[in-house]
Amino acid sequence: MTQLPTAGLPGFIAATSRLASHFPLTPDGTRRFVLAFGEQMAYIRVQDAWNPWRFLRQMEGNPPTRWGTDGFKRSLVDDRNPARHYAAFVFVGFWLPGWMAVLVLWLWELAGFVRYGFRWSQADTRSGYVGLWHGRLLRRFGHTLLPSLLARDLAETGQGWSRLSRNGEKALFPRQGTNVLQ
């Protein structure tokens, strides 16, 4: 496991911000960021997709960096690395159409339900939905938005996520006169 100078959500946000700064705010830069983010934070290595068993084992396992649970909203935590599950669904939400991304989330959660002795994780489901929504926002507005979304929606002290307006307006401009992008 990689030892991190700052753990928990603050470390996750800082690492995401550093990673985002390496890619230009262009559609191609955002695609490359999402690939790198998926690999570093969730161990999704698309180059291994040709071997489905290896690919699935990697996604199920631990990524190169682990952040712990400090600072994460308790309702989104069910294991020692909630960032992994969230990051995987940012990846899925970015690449797949909405209905297909939700289907993947539910299939993954159902497989986990069976695998982990018929224990349902509402926290994983919530985290997955937040990740899917953030992935959709990245596709539309670019990757530099992600650190702000992390602070707002994953932090115990953040204002929180809810099903937001279809066009993303409430996600980007939550209150009159405030702008998450600033």
> Can you give the residue ranges of every domain in the chain?
8-172
Q: 47 — phi, psi (to 5°)? A: -65, -15
Q: What is residue 78's predicted lDDT score, i.e. its pLDDT?
A: 83
- Measured CA to CA, the distance from residue 171 to residue 157 in angstroms comes to 17
* Three-class SS state of 125: helix
For tokens 């600033």, the residue is 182
**Model pTM?**
0.80
pLDDT truncated to tens, each residue of the chain (182 aa)?
A: 454 557 899 999 999 999 999 999 999 999 999 999 999 998 888 877 777 777 667 766 677 777 888 999 988 888 888 998 899 999 999 999 999 999 999 888 888 778 767 777 788 889 999 999 999 999 999 999 999 999 999 998 766 555 444 444 444 444 444 444 43
Q: Are 91 and 34 within 8 A, CB to CB? A: yes
Helix/strand/coil (H/E/C) assignment for every residue in 145-166: HHHHHHHHHCECCCCCCCCCCC
What is the greatest pairwise CA distance in the chain?
49
Whether 99 contacts 127, CB under 8 Å? no
127: left (phi over 0), alpha (psi -120 to 50) or beta: alpha
CB 137, CB 145: distance < 8 Å? yes
Question: What's the pLDDT at 33?
Answer: 98
- Angle value at C-alpha 139, between 104 and 77, nearest 5 degrees: 50
